[in-house]
Structure formats: C-alpha cells, structure tokens
Structure 1
Amino acid sequence: MPTNDLHVGIVGAGIGGVLCSIAIVRAGGRVTILEAAQQLGEIGAGIQMTPNVSRLLIRYGIDKVIGNDLVRFSELNMRRKDGTKIGYTKIQRVEEATGSPWWLVHRHHLHNGLVEVARQSGVEILIDSRVSKLDRLQTGKVAVETEKGREFEFDLVIGSDGVQSIVRRTLFPEVKPRPPTGNCAFRAIVPYEEVRKDPLTRELVEDENGNLIKTMEVWMAPTGYINAKDFNMVLSHFRDPPVDTVCPVDLEEVRRQYDGYDPRIRRIIEKIPPGVSRWPLLVTGPLESWSSPEKNIVLLGDAAHSMTNHMAQGAATSMEDGAFLARCLSLVIGGKATVGDAVTLYEKGRMPKASYKQQVSFLNGWIWHLPDGPAQEARDKEMEPELRGEVPMRSPNLYGDPGCVQECYGYDAEKHADFEISAFLNDGRAVRDGAAIQQERADQIANWFLPDGEHYKIASRL
C-alpha cells in the first residue's frame, strides 16, 4: 500500500505522457499534466501498436476503451519498387512468439482512449498551459510556471513534450534534434473502399475469392519507400537540403516523387486527398543523461530520444518509458527509495534500450533504401525463404527476424523494470539471475520456429 504522497507533474499530454500518467496513478501517485495546446488531440494518421506496447494497453484496460478502432492485419509483404514481392512475414507468428497482438490504430483514437482512461483514473489534465519556466527548489521539489502565470510545485517533473521539448531545452540547451539524413515522410490515409473498388488496386486488399484482407505492404527503393497498412500510408522520401520542420506540400510533388513505382501504388497515391504535409525524421541523442543533477526533472519519449520511424517504435518507446518509470516510482510511493533512486533506475534501464531502438530503426531504413546492386541482391536473396514459407534463422526483414522480433516486440517494459528494482533492493543482486533471463529469451525465440524449437537449438549449438 502507498505510504508516501508523490505528486508528479508531466509536461505534455502526448501518447507517452498520458500513458505514463495512467501507470503512475496505478502505482499510487498523483499526476497533473500541463499541455500547451488549447484542446487535446493528436495530429497524423495511423500508428502501429506492436506487441511490446499492445500488452500495456491490455493491462491498463485501454484496449477496451478504444475497442474496434484497434485493427489487426494478417501479413507483411516486402516488395521491390515495381511491386515484385521479395519478403513476407506472417503476423500471427509474431503475435504467437511475443504473446501479444499487433494492432494498427489512428493516432486520434489511441489518444482519445488514453485520455479517457487517464481521467477515469484521476489524472488532472490542464490544457492551454504552456510551461515557460522550471526552477529546482532547495526543498528538492520543482517549481513550474506557465506562460499565463499559473504556478505549480511538484516532487518530480517529467518532460514528455516532444521533439521541441521546453524541458529538454531547460536541462540541455545545447542539444538540438537533427535530421540524420534528408529522409522525410509524407503521411496520408486513402479510404479502404476507394482502394477496393478500383480494378487495378483491388488485389492489394482482396484475396482470390474477393474476401477483404488487411495487410502491411512495403515498397522499397533507393529514393524512398512506401509503407501502407489498411491504407494508412507512410511515404518515405529524401529532401535536399534536409528539413527540420513539418510543412505542407502540393499533391503533385507527392505524385512526382513516386514516378516509376508499382502502378497499383501510384494509382492509390492519386487518390490521396489534399492536405498532405512533409514530416522530417528528427533524431535526438543519444544523450549522456535524461535528468537534472538533482534527479527531480527527467525526460521521456521524443524529448529524450526521438528516432526514425522505420521500426514503428517512436511512440512505442515513449510508452515503454512511461510504464518503466512508473514502476520505479512505485518504490518511492512505497517508502523504499527516493525520487533520485527511481530516476537513476529508470535511466539505467531505459537509456540503453532507447539507444538500441534508435539504431535498429536507422538500420532498417538503410536496408529498405539500398540502391540496386550487390547489397540489394543479397538482401532480396536472404528474404527468399520467407516467400516459400520457410522460417529463417536471420533475415534482413527486421519485422520478421526472430532475434529482432524478440528484442523489439517481445520486450516487456514492466518486467524489465521489476528486474532492475529487484537488483536495487538486493544490493545489486537480482532475484532472478542472468542465466535464467537468457534461457527465457532463448525459449521465446525458439517459439518462432518448430513447436519444440529444435531448429533453433541445433543452430545455437553450431
């Protein structure tokens, strides 16, 4: 049972911040969210809720609030620019190996569900409350002031205010998110029925019997790629010079960008309604620290580690941060640690994981953008077994590579936090030793293969 009152201020009511607020209240804390916007909501299109975070939505009851707006799809098809299929992942296999579903949801529906559960849990969400100043007090608390002059005092402040974070600028004014390349993305949604009624594009959403199918399709090329799910589209491309702000674009520019692509996807691009913007892919860090020297202000999500979108892990990593940090703060609420201890545990556990996600996301983008030549030919050849229904030991299709699936999508932020907490409470010795953890991971990966995992075990010995 909680023994200490902990009042946490979260700057920013985005996906990561709101999920974090729910997790903290579940742990027994009080939360006030200060949101700069005059109304709540998320801009953008669809977002993937991969198994590592769908399990959090289920645990917190958020999935029931979102309901049928969480959509499952059956397969991932990797294609050349001209539409030739070169790789394949059965999504059910990923779900079985990780133990959780893989959903697609519109950002708006996800955010609405998070906000509803947060408010039901007792989280105070204050809109039109742009933070202008943070001061660390001698009492160990943090004073926060908004542009409209409202003042607050918190035991801990969490900066969950995105890529252009005011909290990060306060802590680390020299840090500026940058585009690592000229890679950007257009985002758009084309109604499914528009795709289905067109004879040219129908085969992308129907099987040979005319039944509706929901898939993820990736067209790969040196100049960009197109990632389409339930015809929510992410259209990757390169811009020289690189840009660092979102800006509207003319639809003709979008269409010209994909000259020479598969006629089916070009036809779908022609159906995109007006109002498309170019989104730069900005990367923050890795940073040496996510917190103030006093450990009473800490960063979360894109404020700490924005990344490219090639593994669908930007929002997911933010949500993991929130769940992990809340678990650490439960020690404070239970009287077993200080706020500083909890923040230190959070940084120790999450900073390496976020760095890994940044790197694997960048790597996947590189794989998808390979120019025609030996590397591209090797990539395509290594994906061929997947088309024949074979299960690869390793694959350049990172959405289906067994090791990557477990590292990204099989990860459980709360279990990881519990492991770090156990070590903290036992003078550095976790209740479960490292060998047990490694065996568990091996067993999870084995589930990817034959029922008894024999294929994996033999290859491991070799």
Structure 2
Amino acid sequence: MSPINIGIVGAGIGGLATAIALARAGATVTVLESAAELGEIGAGIQMTPNVSILLKRWGVDKEIGDNLVRFEELNMRRKDGTPVGHTKIATLEKTLNRPWWVVHRAHLHEGLVTVAERLGVKLIVDAAVTALEYAKNQSVTVTSRKGTFVFDFVVGADGINSVTRKSLFPDVAPEPPTTNCAYRAIVPYEQIRKDPVARELIEKKTMEVWMADNAYIITYPICAGTMFNLVLSHHRPEKLRATQHDVPIHELHNEYKDFDPRIKRVVDMIDSTSRWPLMVTGPLKSWSSPRKNVVLTGDAAHSMVNHMAQGAATAMEDGAFLGKCIAKVVEGKLRLDEAVDIYEKERMPKAFAKQQVSFLNGAIWHLPDGPAQQARDAVMAPELQGQYYVKSSNLYGDPKTVLDVYGYDAEQHADTALAALLNGGREPVDANTGIAKSLEDEFINWFQAEKAKL
C-alpha cells in the first residue's frame, strides 16, 4: 500500500462526494472550504439514478432518510397545462434497479458531510485558498486563510469561480451561452393545500414540467414531501453572469402570468426569489497540471446549463471515478500520473456529452408554438396512453437517454477502464463465456438482478 495525502479545494456537493470516494480508496483526505461554516444554499436538487446509486453504495441515503423523496410520475405539459408527455418513474427505477430521488441541497450536503467525517476526512472551514504551487516539486503547496498545506495531490472542486482552475488555466472563464437564467423558489405544501385551484398539483408526489416559448417551470417535492420546489427558466434582455438576490417579485409573477392557472397560483405565492445565471465552462483541453499533481472536477472543469439536472450529478460522478483511479495508486498498481490520465481520458468525453444533452433538453423545452413544437408534442403523445415507444422528445423518459445518462455508473465505468488499462489496453473477458464484464453487466446482469428481487 502506498499512502497518499490529498487536498480537496471546496466542500460543496461535488467536493464532498470526491472526499468520500478518495477516503474509500484509502487516501488521507483534507478538504479546504472558504466559507466560515459548512452548508449549502439554494433549494431542491435531483439525485437522478446515475448518482442515487452512489448515495446508496456509500451509505449517504441512510443519513438523509425521509428527506430523500421519491415521486410517482413525470408529467410534461404545454404552458396552459395540457398534458403532452408522461414517464412512470417506477418503471424507470425498476429497469435501472435504482431510485430517482429529489432532495433539498442542505439535506444532501449534511448527509455527505456525515459520511465523509465518518471515513476520517478532515474538513477545514474558513480556509479560502489564495495560491497553489504545483510546478516546482511533485508535491503541491496550498496557501490558504488557515495556513499553508503540502499535499501529494490536489483536487479542485471549487465550483464555477474556481481558484484552482484560475491557477491552472488563467485564461479560461465560464460564460453564459445565452440570456437564459433561472429563478429558484420553495413554497410549503400546507400553503398550497389551502388554495382550491393549486392544490390539485399536490394530490400525489409528481414532477411537473410546463414548457413554453423561451421559458419553462419544473416542480417537485422535497423535505419529506412538505415543500414544493420550483425552478423557473426564462430569458433576460442581457446575459447574466452573477446571481441576483432580492429580485423584484413582480418580475417573476409577470413572467408566468399566462401559464396554467394552477401553477400560476403557486408562483404568486412566492414572496422572494433570486435569479441564477446559467454558466458554461469549457470544454477544456485538459483538467490537470503538467505534472498531473492537480486536477479539476465538477463545475470547476465543466459547468453546464441546468436543463437535465446533471451539474452536481456530473461532479459526483467525477469524484466517484477519480476515487477508483486513486485506489489503484494506493494499491501500487498505477502511478499518480497514470491515474489522472485515465480519469481525463474517460471522464472528459462524458462531461462534454452531459453539457450537450443539457443544451438539447433546454432547446426542446423552450420551443415556441409552431411546427417544431407540434412535432415535439406528437412524438411524446404515445406516453400518455402508456404505449410502447423506442424514442421520445421527452428526454427524461426517452429509452436511450435514460440508459446513457441515468443508467450510467461512474464506479463501474472506472472499474472497466482500469481493468482494460492494466490488461494492456483491452478489457479482460470471462474464461468460460468470452464475454467482457461490462457487457455482461449491461446485457445480462441487469435482469438477473431483477429476478433476485422477485
């Protein structure tokens, strides 16, 4: 075993997930967080099946408990509320053998902190990083508000305004690709129940999407089903590059005045909100320093628009994959630079694909009324009758997208890539069947798992 001392810059959702994965790999892990207290701002977040499997595997789900909410169905709608598409979530979950959760960011963060600390991760707050020296030696010297640290390896998980990225690539800056931005808000279920029109929306736990010209609303339950979370997409006259707090509430109310009366009543219950920019980073040519002793993850490397709910999920995948790579370093089977190379080779295309599918879903949801919108709605229509289909413009239920995005397992991907690397570049195959494990998992083991549950 080769001990390795790793520093992580940033204790957000991605940084904590990375800390857990690296600690599980056998590394000594220290996380430097700039905030004076640990915590997470914002509202709800989707833990789609590609990351719910990580929460279960790591035991984070048990810490969060009932605050991880499962919903029954996804309903796609026109702006006026007319049903367009439908996904039965139980069917998706059964096929993938994993849940689709929604949760408040604060509850998710608390669960990650608890598991990280249990694994021995050292969390240091009020430790804003001001400089990194990674070129002179193989070790990395990190200067922070809490003093100077020396690590064998540093992970920059410090988000959209990453100090780590600025140190590695000073000319790279995240940019809003369009004038699209989003409001976020939470309304108590109890308040909605008192409204004779709006309460129809909460008769059961659902995810709802209202699509409109250059706007949409997506809603789902959080906080053990006591809070109604809203993300409200819209466009501004100019690009937004920083969060605007205390937005005049009439701006939000007016933006959605022509929507379905049920959701309009809920929107009118919102008494304060912030406007969030949608910033995109990259794709970058590299995520690492020349010596491979510093590497980026999450929004520091590949921030994306929010239309597939994959920003935090992709950061968590990065951490999970990197953890498997570092485990081989700890075991003495790989050098650190080899581990970083395979991480970049495999994860960079995956992150780019997530950025692309997020753009695509935004384009689909924002279509103006007309031929394209009518075609979109027509190909979703079979979902409303529960008919069989092989392709849909509802990417949350489209079979291929579900398998590619939600059926992905970052740790399984890492195991496959590492097995191939250590086998001379080709994945090993079973001596009896001749089948590679990754293909066996994809085509056989999934239904074997289903049979085991019967």
The alignment's TM-score, normalised by the length of structure 1, stands at: 0.92
**Deviations 1:35-76 (Å, cap 9, x if unpaired)?**
000011111001010111111111111111111110000000
Counterparts of 1:191 and 1:48 in 2: how far apart (Å)?
18
Equivalent positions of 1:58-77 (< 5 A) are 58-77=56-75
Identify if the C-alpha distance between structure 1 residues 440 and 393 changes in structure 2 by more than 3 Å, giving closer, same or farther. Answer: farther
Report the more deviating stretch, 62-71 or 130-139.
130-139
Q: Which residue of 2 aligns with 1:215?
A: 206
Q: Which residue of 1 aligns with 2:106?
A: 108
Q: Structure 1 residue 391: deviation in Å?
A: 2.5
SS of 2:276's equivalent in the other structure is: strand
Counterparts of 1:380 and 1:408 in 2: how far apart (Å)?
22
SS of 2:143's equivalent in the other structure is: strand
**Deviations 1:149-191 (Å, cap 9, x if unpaired)?**
x111111100000001000011111111011111100000011
User: 5+ unaligned residues in a row in structure 2: which ranges?
Assistant: 222-227
Do structure 1's residue 164 and structure 2's residue 155 form an aligned pair? no
Equivalent AA in structure 1 for residue 355 of structure 2: Q
Among 88, 91, 95, the alignment partner of 2:89 is 91
Identify if the C-alpha distance between structure 1 residues 199 and 250 changes in structure 2 by more than 3 Å, giving closer, same or farther. Answer: same
Equivalent AA in structure 2 for residue 181 of structure 1: T
Q: Which residue of 2 aligns with 1:227?
A: 218
Q: Structure 1 residue 136: deviation in Å?
A: 1.5
**Deviations 1:285-332 (Å, cap 9, x if unpaired)?**
111110011100000000000011111111000000000000000011
Q: Which residue of 2 aligns with 1:385?
A: 382
SS of 1:247's equivalent in the other structure is: coil
SS of 2:288's equivalent in the other structure is: coil
Check conservation: 2:416, 2:438, Cα contact below 8 A.
no
Identify if the C-alpha distance between structure 1 residues 436 and 111 changes in structure 2 by more than 3 Å, giving closer, same or farther. Answer: closer
Q: Which residue of 2 aligns with 1:52?
A: 50
Q: Which residue of 2 aligns with 1:266?
A: 264
Do structure 1's residue 196 and structure 2's residue 187 form an aligned pair? no
SS of 2:348's equivalent in the other structure is: helix
Do structure 1's residue 278 and structure 2's residue 275 form an aligned pair? yes
Q: Structure 1 residue 93: deviation in Å?
A: 1.2
Check conservation: 1:44, 1:187, Cα contact below 8 A.
yes
Identify if the C-alpha distance between structure 1 residues 153 and 350 changes in structure 2 by more than 3 Å, giving closer, same or farther. Answer: same
Equivalent positions of 1:322-341 (< 5 A) are 322-341=319-338
**CA RMSD after TM alignment:** 1.7
Do structure 1's residue 317 and structure 2's residue 314 form an aligned pair? yes
Equivalent AA in structure 1 for residue 338 of structure 2: D
**Deviations 1:343-381 (Å, cap 9, x if unpaired)?**
111101110100000000110000000111111000000
Identify if the C-alpha distance between structure 1 residues 440 and 403 changes in structure 2 by more than 3 Å, giving closer, same or farther. Answer: farther
Q: Structure 1 residue 422: deviation in Å?
A: 0.5
User: 5+ unaligned residues in a row in structure 1: which ranges?
Assistant: 207-212, 452-462
Do structure 1's residue 369 and structure 2's residue 370 form an aligned pair? no
Q: Structure 1 residue 147: deviation in Å?
A: 3.5
Q: Structure 1 residue 250: deviation in Å?
A: 1.1
Do structure 1's residue 402 and structure 2's residue 399 form an aligned pair? yes
Report the more deviating stretch, 436-445 or 184-193.
436-445
**Identical aligned pairs, as a percentage?**
57
Equivalent positions of 1:445-456 (< 5 A) are none
Query: How many equivalent pairs are there?
Result: 438
Equivalent AA in structure 2 for residue 111 of structure 1: H
Q: Which residue of 2 aligns with 1:250?
A: 248
Equivalent AA in structure 1 for residue 34 of structure 2: A
Equivalent AA in structure 1 for residue 105 of structure 2: R
Counterparts of 1:6 and 1:335 in 2: how far apart (Å)?
11
Q: Which residue of 1 aligns with 2:76?
A: 78
Identify if the C-alpha distance between structure 1 residues 83 and 444 changes in structure 2 by more than 3 Å, giving closer, same or farther. Answer: farther
Q: Which residue of 2 aligns with 1:300?
A: 297
Equivalent AA in structure 2 for residue 394 of structure 1: K
Q: Structure 1 residue 435: deviation in Å?
A: 7.2
Check conservation: 2:2, 2:332, Cα contact below 8 A.
yes
Q: Structure 1 residue 137: deviation in Å?
A: 5.2
Check conservation: 2:126, 2:145, Cα contact below 8 A.
no
Report the more deviating stretch, 262-271 or 433-442.
433-442
Among 176, 181, 187, the alignment partner of 2:178 is 181
Identify if the C-alpha distance between structure 1 residues 83 and 395 changes in structure 2 by more than 3 Å, giving closer, same or farther. Answer: same
Check conservation: 1:98, 1:444, Cα contact below 8 A.
no
Check conservation: 1:97, 1:444, Cα contact below 8 A.
no
Q: Which residue of 1 aligns with 2:225?
A: none
Counterparts of 1:445 and 1:251 in 2: how far apart (Å)?
48
SS of 2:363's equivalent in the other structure is: helix
Counterparts of 1:144 and 1:33 in 2: how far apart (Å)?
12
Counterparts of 2:444 and 2:235 in 1: how far apart (Å)?
40
The alignment's TM-score, normalised by the length of structure 2, stands at: 0.94
Among 348, 351, 355, the alignment partner of 1:351 is 348
Check conservation: 2:50, 2:409, Cα contact below 8 A.
yes
**Deviations 1:129-150 (Å, cap 9, x if unpaired)?**
00011002544110100145x1
Q: Which residue of 2 aligns with 1:342?
A: 339
SS of 1:256's equivalent in the other structure is: helix
Do structure 1's residue 424 and structure 2's residue 415 form an aligned pair? no
SS of 1:190's equivalent in the other structure is: strand
Check conservation: 1:137, 1:143, Cα contact below 8 A.
no
Report the more deviating stretch, 92-101 or 129-138.
129-138
Equivalent AA in structure 2 for residue 225 of structure 1: Y
Q: Structure 1 residue 444: deviation in Å?
A: 8.8
Q: Which residue of 2 aligns with 1:459?
A: none
Identify if the C-alpha distance between structure 1 residues 137 and 436 changes in structure 2 by more than 3 Å, giving closer, same or farther. Answer: closer
Counterparts of 1:366 and 1:168 in 2: how far apart (Å)?
29
